[in-house]
Amino acid sequence: MENLCVLEETFVDSEALRLEKAIILQLGKLGALELFNVCLSRSLGTSLVSNYADKVDDYKDKVVVQSSKKKENKTRRKREFVSTAVSSQSLTLKANQEDLLGFSASLVKRAPNTKNKRILVAKREAEMSKGVKVLAELEKIRTAIEEDTKRVASLSTWAEASGVDEKVLQKLLHRGYYCQDELIRSTRSLVLYLARKYRGMGIALDDLLQAGYVGVLQGAERFDSTRGYKFSTYVQYWIRKSILRVVARYARGIVIPWSLNRAINQIQKARKAMKSTHKKCPDDYEIAKMTGLSLDKIKSASNCLRIVASIDQKVGDYLGVEYMELLPDATIESPEDAVMKQHMRKDVHDLLKGLNLRERKILTLRFGLNDNQPRSLQDIGTLFKVSKERIRKIEKKALTKLKNEATISKLHYYLDL
């Protein structure tokens, strides 16, 4: 029994030494054995390391007989250990890279230059607006010179009227044009953001953007940086105003004056507000009381609110027919009206047969019954070689003869048309 215990302890010790040797070899390949020895020597001294090395050397001198199956298991364990160590090392590197990237991204997000950059942009826009102001003043001077002289102003005349040298004038002009370009470039995103709100009103987006850029330059001419607000905040009003002017002028088929368009907007806002509060459609008197506009102004604005469509527009989605092909021609008389006029003319001539020839001719000329061209009393008097007063008396006498119940009942049908 004691021999069995000794043999068991021997095999256990051999397996433990074999496992320790495999671990030491793999640590040596990974370069961790040297670090382990250094740390161990610092903490426990060199005696323990030397004893451990002696044990390893003693183990190397021993010869252990192993079977082929044990060798295969040993090689398999080595491969698994190496693959695990390599994968753990790659995962550690990836984690380090992600940490570095996250740290750099956090540095970018928390960069202290963001606020300073905004301040610099605001200051630059204020400086650019000053250049645009100077350019606008110079353009006004040039326009005044051309209106006075009725010809194109030369550079020397322009510089003399501005009170500067020609070279200085050229520098101011170049700087003004440069400031215009820079302001338009810096406010491009703002103009695009505001112009997108007015899409679908019959104006192309490019035209809305151009109107917005015009508003930027108009706002730059009136911007005052000493009041403490930003240029981008101030110029939004001018961008919207310029875009709304273009929409009001070109969105409809007919041109509506700007003052009337403002009245239309006031009426629409008042009508919408009163409809939401009182749950009913307000009349013109209530709108006039709320907006302060006159009734005539409200009526004319309401007439302009009618939808205007193009006669070239297609009818339906799948039909190739235009509205122009379906609308009747108002200049051409309908067959029903033509027949009705013929009968009415015949009945009138039948009534005139009860008058004498002179009275019949005077009434025919006076009301244009033959050629649809009524004549005046003076013209008829000239034809009959009498005064116009005489013609008036004859006309009155003839009309008195025709005014009776039989005539009214016969022509009553035409009066109802």
The span from the CA of 109 to the CA of 389, in Å, is 100
Higher pLDDT, 17 or 11: 17
Radius of gyration of the chain (CA): 51
SS3 416: coil
Give the number of other Cβ atoms within 10 Å of residue 246's Cβ.
20
Confidence (pLDDT) at 106: 37
Confidence (pLDDT) at 195: 92
Higher pLDDT, 196 or 322: 196
Task: Give Cα separations from 189 to 118, 205, 236, 380 (angstroms).
Answer: 15, 14, 12, 76
pLDDT for 107 beyond 50: no
Domain span(s) for CATH 1.20.120.1810 in the chain: 116-251
Here the tokens at position 44 are 């426990």
Average confidence score pLDDT of the chain: 75
Nearest to 226 by CA among 114, 129, 120, 115: 129
Confidence (pLDDT) at 300: 82
Task: Pinpoint the alpha helices (H) of 228-282.
Answer: 231-250, 258-278
What does residue 334 show for φ and ψ, rounded to 5 degrees? -70, 155
Alpha-carbon 237 to chain mean position: 15
- The domain 336-415 having CATH identifier 1.20.120.80: the answer here is no
The span from the CA of 195 to the CA of 211, in Å, is 9
Confidence (pLDDT) at 105: 36
Q: Among residues of the chain, what percentage have pLDDT more than 70?
A: 69
Give the number of other Cβ atoms within 10 Å of residue 241's Cβ.
14
Max alpha carbon distance in the chain (Å)? Answer: 171
The span from the CA of 350 to the CA of 344, in Å, is 10
pLDDT for 280 beyond 50: yes
Q: How confident is the model at residue 110 (pLDDT cuts 50, 70, 90)?
A: very low
pLDDT for 16 beyond 80: no
Confidence (pLDDT) at 290: 85
Higher pLDDT, 272 or 85: 272
Confidence (pLDDT) at 95: 38
Confidence (pLDDT) at 417: 58
When the candidates are 1.10.530.10, 1.10.645.10, 4.10.220.20, 1.20.120.1810, the CATH number that belongs to 116-251 is: 1.20.120.1810
pLDDT for 90 beyond 50: no
Confidence (pLDDT) at 70: 61
Q: How confident is the model at residue 92 (pLDDT cuts 50, 70, 90)?
A: very low
Q: Are 132 and 221 in contact (CB under 8 A)?
A: yes
Task: Pinpoint the alpha helices (H) of 31-165.
Answer: 32-44, 46-61, 68-109, 113-149, 155-162
Q: How confident is the model at residue 15 (pLDDT cuts 50, 70, 90)?
A: low
Query: What residue has token string 């008829």?
Result: 380
Q: How confident is the model at residue 87 (pLDDT cuts 50, 70, 90)?
A: very low
pLDDT for 327 beyond 60: yes
Domain span(s) for CATH 1.10.10.10 in the chain: 336-415
Q: What angle do CA 236, 238, 244 make, to 5 degrees?
A: 105
Mean pLDDT of the region 72-97: 47
Confidence (pLDDT) at 352: 84
Q: Are 248 and 261 in contact (CB under 8 A)?
A: yes
Higher pLDDT, 133 or 13: 133
pLDDT for 416 beyond 70: no
Here the tokens at position 342 are 């013929």
Mean pLDDT of the region 196-207: 86
Q: Are 175 and 153 in contact (CB under 8 A)?
A: no
Confidence (pLDDT) at 194: 93
Confidence (pLDDT) at 218: 92
Q: Among residues of the chain, what percentage have pLDDT more than 90?
A: 9
Looking at residue 193, its amino acid is Y
